[in-house]
Chains A and B, each alone.
Chain A
Amino acid sequence: MKKILLAALSLLACMAFTACNEQKQEKAEAPKTVTVMIYSEYIDPAMLEDFEKKTGYKLQLELYEAQEEMIGKLQAAGTSQYDVVIASDVVIQQMVHLGLIAPIDTAKVPNRVNIAPQFMGQAYDPTNTYTIPYLWGTTGFLFRGDKVDPDSVSYSMLFDASKTKGNFSLLEESRSMLSMALQAIGFDANSTKQEEINKAVELILKAKKDKNFLGFDGSVGGKDKVLSKMDWAAIVFNGEAANAIAEDSTLQFVIPKEGSFMWVDAMTLSSKAPNVEGAYAFMNYILDAKIGAQLAQYINYATPNKASLEFVSEDFKNDRVVNPTESEIKRMVFLADPGDAAKLFDDAWTIVKTR
């Protein structure tokens, strides 16, 4: 019995040693890695190998499902574990304030010239120092019914009880929904004036009393309800709309004529990035014209890379849901960080959800 135990022990020791050795070797020989924190299923897997071939850096992905989760991980586990963090425009200012991301040395990312002008000097990063856009999209109405001119649809379609033709859902996110209600009335989507927000609250409360109002839903939930014919209309992001229309071509997606908001997911530099050079290499790689085209078509989201438009297929380019027209882009805005007015939006949302 003792012998067997001894043999097992020595075997275990051997295994441990070799394992250690292997690990050491790997560390010495393997190329330096670039760790990117990114939404799950948000990159073409073929790029992992391609990136290593082109730059010599190994690409490692850390996945997350929600913005709060990403910020929580950065705050708890520290920023020194990640090089590049993909973050949505609405949380950029907060991340800067919390010291989670650092300014980007723009000279190290020469492909920056490819970025379309509409992503420069925007509210989420007025000085263009913290972000490099990754993919972007829009927000609008997904609905069922006769074909209409996409430029003629107004917010009254949902907010005027005499015009709703069936069940509808509104967006379950305070800042986004209130900004759309502000635009519906004719105010600035980024207004932080109390009396204007108050009017937006009243507008949503009025819509809540409509017998066709089914509830508040996230973009995916709204899409599912329209697809299952439970809803006639819902407010969704264009990515969800494109998926829904691919499944059921009778559906339509429009950007209301009073405007709505665009969103962008941007690459940011972690404030304690262990591999800063590698991080810049990744940003530059994504901004390459051909890679940008490949990424956009794989994920089916619009690319912020104006040079990529040459390399995307005609079908993709003409898909109005994914790639909005000039006039649509003109009536959309990015949501600015509300700063201390966040409190105002939160109080307003409590009223919306209580009465």
Chain B
Amino acid sequence: MTTEVFEGKLTTRSHMRKFGLLLTGPGMLWLLVFLLLPTIFLLVMAFAERGSYGTINWTFSFDNVKKLLGFSSFGWAADNLVILWRSFKIAVVTTLLCLAIGLPMAFWIGAHSKKVSTLLLALVMVPSCTNLVIRTYAWMILLGTQMPPTWLARTLGFIGEAESLYPGTFAVYIGMVSCMLPFAVLPLYTSVERLDWGIVEASRDLYAGPIRTFYHGILSQMMPGIVASVVLTLVPTLGMYVVSDLLGGAKFILIGNLIQQQFFGTALDWPFGAMLGIVLIISSVLSLVVFQKTGGKSFV
């Protein structure tokens, strides 16, 4: 048997089992009580039925699956699938925008001295101290009819004479990106800080062009950071609906709205809400797995 060296008392396998369990116990218990059990409850509820006045009938049925696929009181329509597709589109675009803005930002912050870069990082985080709804209201005012951004966009001919930047798609993306950017920048910055510039040097020595150097020398090293920032932006944006409602004028709903509508709307259909919640969890996990499998591998 090989002997493994661990910190402190965790020197042998049996010790490791005993003390390790003791040490990880609270964390495990936390996950069990606040993650596993609620998720199981959600899963059970997803296959129950809605009773009258928001009560739940605990009879097993596949009605919610059928409803999800578009069979409503008005016959079949693709509405729910359209909502899912739309939510995905917005989440993916927001994530890509965050990466596109976050990558140069991370390099720029990393290029400064330790003192300055700490300050710059703090500046990135500071807006998160304000409540999301308040920040969104600030954008509503800033992008309003009589404000400079709208005037500028009008003068440059991006929008018509009577139109304004808010409410609309542009405002939604501004709000989403400004909200998620700190979460994208932080992991990217950590990656930049840890970059082994020797590899870049080696690549230049071997006459690789700037693009190849960036692709093989830098981007492949940054993959863990990129994966982390994609996880931190994609998953929350998938379920977000406050920003899109406030800045988009609530014309179109996303999966988050649909879930909210089941729990607080006229229908009070908790089981269907649970089903939608499960779908949201599965689809975000699935998209991350796919991303890691395809995106992650192509660099190695």
Q: Which residues does A use to contact B, with CB under 8 Å?
A: 68, 93-94, 97-98, 167, 169, 172, 174-175, 194, 198, 208, 213-217, 228-230, 338-340, 342-351, 353-355
A selection of 21 A-B contacts at a CB cut-off of 8 Å is A68-B264, A94-B54, A169-B249, A172-B250, A174-B261, A174-B265, A174-B266, A208-B251, A213-B251, A214-B167, A215-B167, A215-B251, A216-B250, A216-B251, A340-B52, A343-B50, A346-B266, A347-B73, A348-B74, A349-B261, A353-B253
- The residue of chain B having its C-beta at the shortest distance from the C-beta of A355 within the complex is B79
A97 CA / B54 CA spacing, docked (Å)? 10
Give the shortest distance, in Å, between B151 (CB) and chain A (any CB).
15
Interface residues of B in 44-98 (CB under 8 A from A): 50, 52-55, 72-74, 77, 79-80, 82-83
Interface residues of B (CB under 8 A from A): 50, 52-55, 72-74, 77, 79-80, 82-83, 144-145, 162, 164, 167, 248-253, 257-258, 261-262, 264-269
**What is the interface of chain A mostly: helix, strand, loop, or mixed?**
helix
Residue of B nearest to A93 (CB): B53
**Contacts across chains A and B counted by CB atoms under 8 Å:** 89
CB <8 Å contact, A194 and B164: no
Cβ A350 vs Cβ B253 within 8 A: yes
Chain A residues, Cβ within 8 Å of B257: 353
**Residue in chain B with minimal CB distance to A346:** B267
| A208, B266: Cα distance in complex, Å | 21
Q: Is the CB of A343 within 8 A of B267?
A: yes
Beyond A93-B53, A345-B266, 9 additional contacts (C-beta under 8 Å) are A68-B264, A213-B251, A214-B249, A340-B52, A343-B73, A343-B267, A350-B253, A353-B250, A353-B257
Do residues A354 and B82 form an inter-chain contact, with CB atoms below 8 A?
Answer: yes
Q: With a CB–CB cut-off of 8 A, which chain B residues contact A68?
A: 264
Which listed residue (B53, B144, B269) contacts A346, Cβ 8 A? B269
Interface centre among A169, A230, A353 (most CB of B within 10 A): A353
Of the candidates A208, A230, A342, the one whose C-beta lies within 8 Å of that of B268 is A342
**Would A346 and B250 count as touching, CB distance under 8 A?**
no
List the B side residues contacting A208 at CB < 8 Å. 251
Question: How many angstroms between the C-alpha atoms of A213 and B269 in the bound complex?
Answer: 30
Question: Residues of A contacting B249 with CB < 8 Å?
Answer: 169, 214-217
Of A169, A351, A354, chain B has the most CB atoms within 10 Å of the CB of A354
Interchain CB contact under 8 A, B145 and A230: yes
A350 to B81: give the CA distance in the assembly, Å. Answer: 12
Min CB distance, B80 to chain A, in Å? 7
- The answer to whether A350 touches B261 (Cβ under 8 A) is yes
B144, A215: Cβ atoms closer than 8 Å: no
Closest 10 CB pairs of A and B: A215-B249, A346-B267, A347-B72, A353-B253, A216-B250, A354-B79, A97-B53, A347-B73, A342-B266, A94-B53
Q: How far is the CA of A274 from the CA of B72 in the complex (A)?
A: 44
* B52 and A229 form a contact (CB under 8 A): no
Q: Are A350 and B258 in contact (CB under 8 A)?
A: yes
B251 with A175: CB separation less than 8 A:
no
Q: Provide the residues of chain B in CB contact with A346, threshold 8 Å.
A: 261-262, 265-267, 269
The smallest C-beta distance from A89 to any residue of chain B, in angstroms, reads 14
Q: How many whole Å from A203's CB to the nearest CB in chain B?
A: 15
In the complex, the answer to whether A349 meets B72 with C-beta atoms within 8 Å is: no
What are the residues of chain A within 8 A of B253 when measuring CB–CB? Answer: 350, 353-354
Q: With A340-B52, A354-B79 given, is the CB distance from A347 to B74 under 8 Å?
A: yes
Given contacts A350-B79, A350-B261, contact A217 B74 (CB under 8 A): no
- Tell whether, in the assembled complex, residue B266 and residue A351 are in contact, meaning their CB atoms are under 8 Å apart: no
Using Cβ atoms and an 8 Å threshold, which residues of chain A touch B252?
353-354
Pairwise interchain contact A339-B52, C-beta atoms closer than 8 A: yes
Write out the residue numbers on chain A whose beta carbons fall within 8 Å of the beta carbon of B268.
342
With A343-B269, A349-B266 known as contacts, the answer to whether A354 contacts B83 (CB < 8 A) is: yes
| Set of chain A residues within 8 Å of B83, measured between Cβ atoms | 350, 354
> Smallest Cβ distance from A346 to chain B, in angstroms?
3
B53 touches A98 (CB 8 A): yes
In angstroms, Cα B265 to Cα A68, docked, is: 9
Docked Cα-Cα span, A351 to B264, in Å, equals: 17
- Residue contact A351 to B79, C-beta cutoff 8 Å: yes
Q: Which residues of B contact A217 (CB under 8 A)?
A: 249-250
Q: Which residues from chain A contact B79 at a C-beta distance below 8 Å?
A: 350-351, 354-355
Contacts of B54 in A (CB 8 A): 94, 98
Give every chain A residue within 8 A of B144 (Cβ-Cβ).
Answer: 228, 230
Distance in angstroms between the alpha carbons of A9 and B83 in the assembled complex: 62
Given contacts A343-B73, A353-B257, contact A175 B53 (CB under 8 A): no
The answer for the CA separation of A209 and B209 in the assembled complex, in Å, is 51
A214-B167, A215-B167, A345-B267 as given contacts; A350 in contact with B250, CB under 8 Å = no
**CB-defined contacts of B248 to chain A, threshold 8 Å:** 215
Assess the B73–A194 pair: CB atoms within 8 A: yes
Smallest CB gap from A66: residue in B: B264
| Measured CA separation A97–B251 after assembly (Å) | 33
C-alpha spacing A344/B266, complex, angstroms: 10
- A213–B72 Cα gap in the complex (Å)? 27
Which residues of A lie under 8 Å from residue B145 when comparing CB positions? 228-230
B15 → A minimal CB distance (Å): 40
Is the CB–CB distance between A198 and B74 below 8 Å?
yes
A339 to B164, CA, bound (A): 41
A142-B72 Cα distance, complex, nearest whole Å: 35
Provide the residues of chain B in CB contact with A97, threshold 8 Å. Answer: 52-53
- Distance (Å) between the CB of B8 and the closest chain A CB? 34
Q: Closest Cβ of chain B: how far from A11's Cβ, in Å?
A: 36
CB proximity of B271 to chain A, nearest CB, Å = 12
Query: Contacts of A194 on B, CB cut-off 8 Å?
Result: 73-74
Report yes or no: B82 in contact with A342, Cβ–Cβ below 8 A. no
A215 close to B250 (CB less than 8 A): yes
B233 to chain A, nearest CB (A): 25
Chain A residues with Cβ below 8 Å from B267 are 342-343, 345-347
Nearest CB on A from B204, distance (A): 53
Residues of B within 8 A of A344 (CB): 73
Most chain A CB inside 10 Å of its own CB: which residue of B73, B145, B162: B73
> In the assembled complex, how far is the CB of residue B273 from the closest CB belonging to chain A, in whole angstroms?
11
